[in-house]
Amino acid sequence: MDTQVFKVKGMTCGGCAKHVEKALRSVAGIVQVDMDVPNGTAKVLGDAPFELLAERVANAGYELVRPA
Tens digit of pLDDT per residue, the chain (68 long)?
899 999 999 999 999 999 999 999 999 999 999 999 999 999 999 999 999 999 999 999 999 998 76
Model pLDDT, residue 62: 98
Residue 9 Cα to chain centre, angstroms: 10
In the chain the domains, ranked by start, together with CATH numbers, are: 2-65 (3.30.70.100)
Model pLDDT, residue 67: 79
Q: Are strands 30-36 and 63-65 parallel, antiparallel or unpaired?
A: unpaired
The predicted model scores a pTM of: 0.93
Residues ≥6 apart with Cβ < 8 Å to 68: none
| Cβ burial 50-68 (10 Å sphere, 16+ → b, else e) | eeebbebbeebebebbeee
Partnered with residue 7 across adjacent β-strands are 41, 65
Model pLDDT, residue 7: 97
